[in-house]
Amino acid sequence: MVVQQSTAAVLDQSTAAVLDGSPYVAFGHGTMTAGLVHLVAPKAKILPLKAFSSDGTAYLSNIIAALYYAQQHGANVVNMSFDLSVPSSALRTQFRG
């Protein structure tokens, strides 16, 4: 992948501030990531799923449900960023990378 000057501004951390305290706060960095995917792979099909609340928290069951939904609807790649305080056997056994 080559980042061109016309798209480099999307990667600037200062642009993330548009999400802070705005009506778009519930969309988070997943929406920005989807935008980047579209820039580099405009023909890619994106299946937007929401497993996290607008405050960035989620129940593990919501994350697993979103992963199952993606899997059942033909997703080849899933991108999620999160950390768990306790390991999850459901994630480890069902969704190996």
Average pLDDT for runs of 10 along the chain of length 97: 52 54 62 84 88 84 91 88 84 73
The helix/strand/coil state of 10 is: helix
Model pLDDT, residue 69: 93
Model pLDDT, residue 73: 93
Model pLDDT, residue 72: 92
- Domain locations in the chain as residue ranges: 1-46, 48-97
Model pLDDT, residue 94: 74
Sign of CA dihedral 21, 24, 29, 33: negative
User: With b meaning 16 or more CB within 10 Å and e meaning fewer, what string describes 34-43?
Assistant: beeeeeeeee
Give the contacts of 20 (CB within 8 A, at least 6 positions apart).
none
Total-model pTM: 0.66
Residue 84 identity (one-letter amino acid): L
